[in-house]
Structure 1
């Protein structure tokens, strides 16, 4: 593969994540449950399709479609969690979810590294192996039927149905309030960049972009990065990177409970930038120092993800 195709195929799923812009709108209109139930089936079918093509353009289309399916999981799955869990338990459950994602990245790396024995089709088997996980998750969702979001039901005027679900699955001590009846005017995307909203848009958008793009980008292309860093034992280094990613989530949980959010956010950005700056400028740094700086970067950037979970209290 040329570097162009390697980059496109590696980033294909990230490109597909922009489907969140459409998925969120559809989920608000038609509900969360339908998308949540169908998502794993789509992921399974798309994963299996990778076994049957060696055409790079077709593979790129499949990878982008996989990213769109992942966008459904990110958008709808997170919305369901946020809208079902009572406020006092939300942060704990959301950090569990973040930790499971980090474990998933680690597991994916292990599969990609140690899967062998399929000859020229080994790379296809590696890519298609995600079908195993999505099939198991899909079966679980068929057996344990996920009820609709009570908040979404309330927003559609189905308040009795929403309250009954909350009483059944959360407890009689909880309820969900009717959605406030306010006049909503249709808006356009350009409103986000109007004088009134552009500062909030830039702060919110750049905050998440600057967190997630390095996180995903480095994780996806980690083997190539290790090769260019002249690391003598890339396997151990990559295992350390993913292990510290999981540890970083735990560190982030502890720090976010003791530091103001503003200091935590700015501090993690500055620290990770400093580590990368030294690595990018000092090409001939001792190997031990390179590994220490890269490990600290992994720990910091995964810890920073926790701050996005600290949302205002809700009323469930």
Structure 2
């Protein structure tokens, strides 16, 4: 004898599933949008810096410092935002950090000195640092295990889209339309305001609520928004735990802290150095004005993160993390040791580097959200962000000086050594988290 399901119940279940998918889509857009504006402000300064320098007459030191201002801000904003996100909640920080960014973005319209520009972009960097520390943890805590890798790596896709769009906007407005550079930099206000509106109405993370002992509220949010609510409610019973900075270096989590920080540092340091000043770097190697090559580098980087996004939940994290770093190191060694290489070979090597480097960079934001526990997920992500921005800042600040004082060959060999260091650390410490729940991936690891 067969039974027929209640059509009303079936329809209600379908509606609930559809509402959850819509929410996850909105949250994903709200999260990856933060990475888009990060890529945008970092891309726009590298392409507008010439116009800024023409008016403000900056020294080489000030040019590098201005280019690195947002990265310096991220260094401070990452840990601070992570600490606040773990203490006060993901939801309030998700709005506050973007409001702070908008303030800084608007102030760019009124810059009248090099130091004024530096401090404004420093403020924007602090906001972006907080964004890293709350956006990825929030998305990780709502995403189902089967989609978590793809959704979180989508942030890197949008980072590159923001970086590339900024390059195109700066070129058109500065080189073609001769628009004032203040307006060019201030264009970041537009996507930030749109993103600010999208974030209204988002709920608090149920995992954070559980960790704070707000069980009833956590259950309500989990069942209303999550595909796998019981996982987020930690039925295993970890209990309420207070996160501290010392936990990052405890016996349980030092491996997670070391790996995420070193891997991220080594992945972004050479990329920021090369990509931020791609046009001038390629011009130094005899590739015309470098514009086409610069667009190619960023275009292949975007292709690399897209491929990682498509594969991350199919072949796992380690296969997209380790080999690509060795490839990046190898092609930079070729450039460094072959000073008389044809320009076509140099260009191909740079393109291969951009592609391989981007594939592993897609994992830099995924890992912290997965392998730190709820009570220090924001702080752990923020700390890794800060360390990575030391590398990005060093690369951005020192590359113009290094190319001038040490030469292209030595500069590329130094970049290759950084890639090798990242590959070695990843080989030893990178975990495999594909398909596992956050309770499993963030469990203490003692060794």
Q: Do the structures match in fold with TM over 0.5?
A: yes
The farther-off stretch of 39-48 and 152-161 is 39-48
Give distance in 2, aligned partners of 1:169 and 1:161. Answer: 12
Contact 1:86–1:315 (8 Å) recurs in 2: no
Q: 1:268 and 1:227, CA in 2 relative to 1: closer, same or farther beyond 3 A?
A: same
Match for residue 207 of structure 2 among 148, 151, 166: 151
Give distance in 2, aligned partners of 1:148 and 1:195. Answer: 30
Q: 1:222 and 1:139, CA in 2 relative to 1: closer, same or farther beyond 3 A?
A: same
The farther-off stretch of 54-63 and 179-188 is 179-188
Give distance in 1, aligned partners of 2:335 and 2:311. Answer: 25
Contact 2:99–2:196 (8 Å) recurs in 1: yes
Q: How does 1:36-115 map to 2 (within 5 A)?
A: 36-115=94-173
Residue 200 of structure 1 and its aligned partner are, at CA, apart by: 5.9
Give distance in 2, aligned partners of 1:57 and 1:180. Answer: 49
Residue 106 of structure 1 and its aligned partner are, at CA, apart by: 1.0
Instruction: Tell me the secondary structure at the aligned position of residue 287 of structure 2.
Output: coil
Contact 2:153–2:363 (8 Å) recurs in 1: no
Instruction: Tell me the secondary structure at the aligned position of residue 180 of structure 2.
Output: helix
Residue 274 of structure 1 and its aligned partner are, at CA, apart by: 1.4
Q: 1:288 and 1:148, CA in 2 relative to 1: closer, same or farther beyond 3 A?
A: same
Q: How does 1:151-170 map to 2 (within 5 A)?
A: 151-170=207-226
Corresponding position of 2:357: 301
Corresponding position of 1:250: 306
Q: 1:305 and 1:53, CA in 2 relative to 1: closer, same or farther beyond 3 A?
A: same
Residue 219 of structure 1 and its aligned partner are, at CA, apart by: 2.5
Instruction: Tell me the secondary structure at the aligned position of residue 279 of structure 1.
Output: helix
Instruction: Tell me the secondary structure at the aligned position of residue 231 of structure 1.
Output: coil
Q: Over aligned residue pairs, what C-alpha RMSD do you find?
A: 2.7
Give distance in 1, aligned partners of 2:99 and 2:243. Answer: 36
* 2:182 is equivalent to residue 129 of structure 1: no
Contact 1:256–1:306 (8 Å) recurs in 2: no
Give distance in 2, aligned partners of 1:185 and 1:161. Answer: 20
Corresponding position of 1:15: 72
Give distance in 1, aligned partners of 2:245 and 2:94. Answer: 27
Residue 82 of structure 1 and its aligned partner are, at CA, apart by: 0.6
Corresponding position of 1:4: 61
Give distance in 1, aligned partners of 2:166 and 2:292. Answer: 16
Corresponding position of 1:314: 437
Contact 1:177–1:315 (8 Å) recurs in 2: no
Aligned length: 310
Residue 80 of structure 1 and its aligned partner are, at CA, apart by: 0.9
Match for residue 264 of structure 2 among 185, 201, 208: 208
Residue 185 of structure 1 and its aligned partner are, at CA, apart by: 8.5
Using the size of structure 2 for normalisation, the TM-score is 0.63
Residue 299 of structure 1 and its aligned partner are, at CA, apart by: 0.4
Q: How does 1:178-189 map to 2 (within 5 A)?
A: 178=234, 180-181=238-239, 188=246
Q: How does 1:206-245 map to 2 (within 5 A)?
A: 206-245=262-301
Structure 1 unaligned blocks of 5 or more: none
Residue 95 of structure 1 and its aligned partner are, at CA, apart by: 2.5
